[in-house]
Amino acid sequence: MQEETGFRPQKLERLCGFYSSPGFCDEYLHLYLATDLVSGRLFAEDTAGIQLVPVPLAQIPELVASGRIEDSKTIAGLLYYLEFSKNL
């Protein structure tokens, strides 16, 4: 996470797991909630195009519905968190 965002989590909590394309491949993804973030520096060499944009949780459904968030793994993770975070 620090390599891509510059933040290092002090706490990681596993939320769930899911297959990316059942029936097509056996890639299994693990979804974690990272909290208590500590700012650091980016380590990857190709970070020039990375721009972090903080988004309020309330805006996520609209960003998904409008197509601004298109990656299926990101959508699954965000919607899972929004639906089940009230029980965490």
Q: What is the pLDDT of residues 63-84, one digit of tens each?
A: 999 999 999 999 999 999 999 8
Q: Which pLDDT tens digit goes with each residue over 13-62?
A: 999 999 988 888 999 999 999 999 999 876 666 666 777 889 999 999 99
Q: What is the fold, at CATH topology level, of the domain defined by 2-41+52-87? A: Nucleoside Triphosphate Pyrophosphohydrolase (3.90.79)
CB 1 within 8 A of CB 44: no
> Out of 3-7, 9-13, 74-78, which region has the weakest mean confidence (pLDDT)?
3-7
For the chain, what are the domain ranges?
A: 2-41+52-87
* End-to-end Cα distance, the chain: 22
Distance set, CA 6 to CA 9, 38, 42, 44, 58 (Å)? 10, 8, 4, 10, 24
Amino acid 76: pLDDT: 94
How many CA atoms does the CB half-sphere of 44 hold within 13 Å? 12
